Chains A and B, each alone.
Chain A
């Protein structure tokens, strides 16, 4: 795939002023931690009533009214085939990440299990080498090693960094 066609190519341009850093929004899907680029995110909102649409794939959750604008909602868990964590109290406890309109062209959001934080990582924390061996459809950009202190010891949680624009384009939600 040519570099100019990659939707996330902007990410490589964006950190031109701070080339050694990436900024992401971390969220939860099932048990695992995931991350998408901060610049792809517009805002985070609570889950509200969603109107279902007929004859659409299972991952198209439906549409909702966000401050007067019709917004298409995609269930990312469904889209990435991630199993739901047990004992989560239904859809009411989930959150919707509203994506940047510059990326999607239309108002669009993704449902995740929870939004955790906005984080900044060094490029050295990201492992891209193994990304190529994963299924292309998952659009994994890299694996982030997140250092966490557990009982006075520093261990790494792994965060899956995905390219959201690629996923949406493959799903036919945005035109290339």
Chain B
């Protein structure tokens, strides 16, 4: 209510206005209520000022006072909520973060809710990293680190500290793992890296690992040296007593030294035996080579004997075969001789017959000769006549030619004479044609005569040839007769010889049989001898083979002894 309004109200009441008085009374009641409300609000705010957020405005007010009470209660409620959240955080419970994120901020100037949100987010991130690192370490993942840059202020320091702690443990442990792995691969020269800083309990760990490495490498070096010496046949080597071997290595050293001394002793014995063996093997080889030479000589001789036997046998076989052939031939000769006898007789008869026939032929030849000379004479005569005819025909042809010429001239004269000569011209033409005919006939005759002359010449030639042939034939026939006579003589000779041959052949057959019998006996003897000789050869070969085997075996022994000797020289005992 404005001051002027209140002044007016009081003025009206002074004038006795009842409504104004009522209005003033109402206003007083309202002021009393307001006063009561303000007192309650003041008490609540007083508690809140000392962080007591338990009290709230409980009175039932109206108007502005109701609004005030509601606002105060809201502040109380919010502060109480924040207090609860702070308590939750203090107890390690940041479950309110989601709710705060949801609220975001209550007004543009609200810093309270975002501050709480940021605080819880930072704490939550740190918790997450700490959880992550501890989980990884539990699983053995020592190389896992948290990202410190995600955190701020003291939180960052905390995470960095954790990382550093992990590094201080992880590096020596990793180095120890590496060295152990080298040891497991037999590399005992491996040592912890001196750049890796270790202290406290880890320093003990390092010293123990390096101790294993140096002890084992020393022992292995010494054992290797001795074993290498053994490998090169030097069994005089021993483990150096100055080498500080302990525990199981002591036993190993003792065993090795024992091997060396025992092997040395054994090899000494073997060496002596080998020398003996070499000497004896040499002697045996000499004896064996003498035996071999002897056996080979025997084998060679046996082979010669066998070969000669075979040759002899072969020769006798050939003789036997030849004798059989001879017997067959003698038989054939006998048969042939009989045939020859028969043929000879037949030939003689035929030859006698031939002689008489040839005589007859000779007579015929003489008669042919006579006839031929007659023919020859006739032909010569005919030829002469032909020549004469030819001459006559030539004369006729000349006459015809002359006549032809005369007729031609007569025709010319007649024609030149004109009508007066016309009759004469006819005669001239007639004469001319007659002359031409005569000439043609004469030419025909000439051709014929020519033909005839050719033929009679042929005939004359044929007759001459015949005469020659006949005289040749005559001579041949005479020769034939002479030959026939010779044949008869020869045949008689053949007959006589044949009889002689027959007699001789019979004798030969008897002799051949005797020889064959002897040869068969000789063959049998050869076969027996051959069998014996081949048995001998086989036996000799067998013994030779055995000697060969012994020789080979001996060679092997020699080889073994030689190599053994060579090997033995390698040992130093």
Interface, chain A (partner B; CB < 8 A):
17, 23, 25, 38-39, 41-46, 95, 115, 117-118, 120
How many B residues have CB within 8 A of the partner chain? 12
The answer to whether B412 and A41 touch across the interface, beta carbons within 8 angstroms, is: yes
**B30 at the A/B interface (Cβ < 8 Å)?**
no
Nearest B residue to A100 via CB reads B416
The answer to whether A44 and B416 touch across the interface, beta carbons within 8 angstroms, is: no
Besides A117-B408, A118-B408, 17 other CB < 8 A contacts? A17-B418, A23-B415, A25-B412, A38-B412, A39-B416, A42-B412, A43-B412, A44-B405, A44-B408, A46-B401, A46-B405, A95-B405, A117-B411, A117-B432, A118-B411, A118-B415, A120-B415
Residues of A within 8 A of B413 (CB): 43
Residues of A within 8 A of B416 (CB): 38-39
**B409 at the A/B interface (Cβ < 8 Å)?**
yes
The answer to whether B409 and A43 touch across the interface, beta carbons within 8 angstroms, is: yes
Q: Give, as a whole number of angstroms, the nearest-CB distance from A73 to chain B.
A: 17
Residues of A within 8 A of B408 (CB): 44, 115, 117-118
* Contact string against A for B residues 407-447, beta-carbon threshold 8 Å, 1 for contact and 0 otherwise: 01101110110100000010000001000000000000000
Residues of B within 8 A of A17 (CB): 418
Closest 9 CB pairs of A and B: A118-B411, A43-B409, A44-B408, A38-B415, A118-B415, A23-B415, A41-B412, A44-B409, A115-B408
Residues of B within 8 A of A45 (CB): 405
Interface, chain B (partner A; CB < 8 A):
401, 405, 408-409, 411-413, 415-416, 418, 425, 432
Nearest B residue to A25 via CB reads B412
**Separation of A55 and B418 alpha carbons in the complex (Å):** 42
Nearest A residue to B432 via CB reads A117
The total of Cβ contacts below 8 Å across the A-B interface reads: 30
**Separation of A39 and B415 alpha carbons in the complex (Å):** 9
Residues of B within 8 A of A95 (CB): 405
Residue with the highest number of chain A CB atoms closer than 10 Å, among B411, B415, B418: B415
Q: Give, as a whole number of angstroms, the nearest-CB distance from B407 to chain A.
A: 10
**Separation of A167 and B415 alpha carbons in the complex (Å):** 24
Residues of A within 8 A of B409 (CB): 43-44
Mostly helix, strand, loop or mixed at chain A's interface? strand
**Separation of A17 and B413 alpha carbons in the complex (Å):** 18
Residues of B within 8 A of A23 (CB): 415
**Separation of A41 and B408 alpha carbons in the complex (Å):** 11
**Separation of A33 and B465 alpha carbons in the complex (Å):** 52
Q: List 24 A-B contacts (CB under 8 A).
A: A17-B418, A23-B415, A38-B412, A38-B415, A38-B416, A39-B416, A41-B412, A42-B412, A43-B409, A43-B412, A43-B413, A44-B408, A44-B409, A44-B412, A45-B405, A46-B405, A95-B405, A115-B408, A117-B408, A117-B411, A117-B432, A118-B411, A118-B415, A120-B415
Residues of B within 8 A of A44 (CB): 405, 408-409, 412
Nearest B residue to A116 via CB reads B408
Residues of B within 8 A of A39 (CB): 416
Residue with the highest number of chain A CB atoms closer than 10 Å, among B408, B411, B416, B425: B408
**Separation of A120 and B429 alpha carbons in the complex (Å):** 13
Nearest A residue to B411 via CB reads A118
Residues of A within 8 A of B415 (CB): 23, 38, 118, 120
Nearest A residue to B401 via CB reads A46
Residues of B within 8 A of A38 (CB): 412, 415-416
**Separation of A129 and B470 alpha carbons in the complex (Å):** 79
Residues of B within 8 A of A43 (CB): 409, 412-413
Q: Give, as a whole number of angstroms, the nearest-CB distance from B321 to chain A.
A: 87
Residues of A within 8 A of B411 (CB): 117-118
A118 is contacted by which of B401, B405, B412, B418 (Cβ under 8 Å)?
B412
Residues of A within 8 A of B412 (CB): 25, 38, 41-44, 118
Residues of A within 8 A of B401 (CB): 46
Q: Give, as a whole number of angstroms, the nearest-CB distance from A5 to chain B.
A: 24
Q: Give, as a whole number of angstroms, the nearest-CB distance from B483 to chain A.
A: 60
Residue with the highest number of chain A CB atoms closer than 10 Å, among B409, B411, B412, B415: B412
Q: Give, as a whole number of angstroms, the nearest-CB distance from A172 to chain B.
A: 27
Residues of B within 8 A of A25 (CB): 412
**Separation of A95 and B402 alpha carbons in the complex (Å):** 12
Q: Give, as a whole number of angstroms, the nearest-CB distance from B204 to chain A.
A: 154
Nearest B residue to A45 via CB reads B405
Residues of A within 8 A of B418 (CB): 17
Nearest B residue to A17 via CB reads B418
**Separation of A115 and B409 alpha carbons in the complex (Å):** 10
Q: Give, as a whole number of angstroms, the nearest-CB distance from B245 to chain A.
A: 146
